[in-house]
Amino acid sequence: MSGTKSIVHDQEQSRFVIYVDDQEAGFAEYSQEGNVRDFNHTVVDPAFRGQGLSKPLISEALLETKEAGLKIKASCSAVAAFVEKNPDFKELLA
């Protein structure tokens, strides 16, 4: 079951949200201090687990953060593991 995926930056809620067929499937939450976004919580709804949604979600969140000229802190274990497996993002670490 794989529907249409989209990722939206919800700046008011300080999080990136992934939608599958217009349903919220998960999010990567952050807090921002100065020019550093601390990604501290990533959740994929149990109904959507096993579809590989966290990778594109985290990737898009980090790419948008990079484009904004910001650094990251990876307090969330999922984000830390993603950065570890994708060394291109290590330069973003504050």
Tell me the pLDDT tens digit for each residue of 38-47. Answer: 999 999 999 9
Cβ atoms of 28 and 16 within 8 Å: the answer is yes
Whether the predicted pLDDT of 6 surpasses 60? yes
Domain that holds residue 85: 5-92
**pLDDT tens per residue, range 59-83:** 999 999 999 999 999 999 999 999 9
How far, in Å, CA of 36 to CA of 73, rounded? 7
CATH number of the CATH domain containing 57: 3.40.630.30
Whether the predicted pLDDT of 1 surpasses 70? no
- The per-residue DSSP string of 3-60 comes to --EEEEEETTTTEEEEEETTEEEEEEEEEEETTEEEEEEEEE-GGGTTS--HHHHHHH
| The total number of structural domains that make up the chain | 1
Of 56, 62, 71, whose CA–CA distance to 26 is shortest? 56
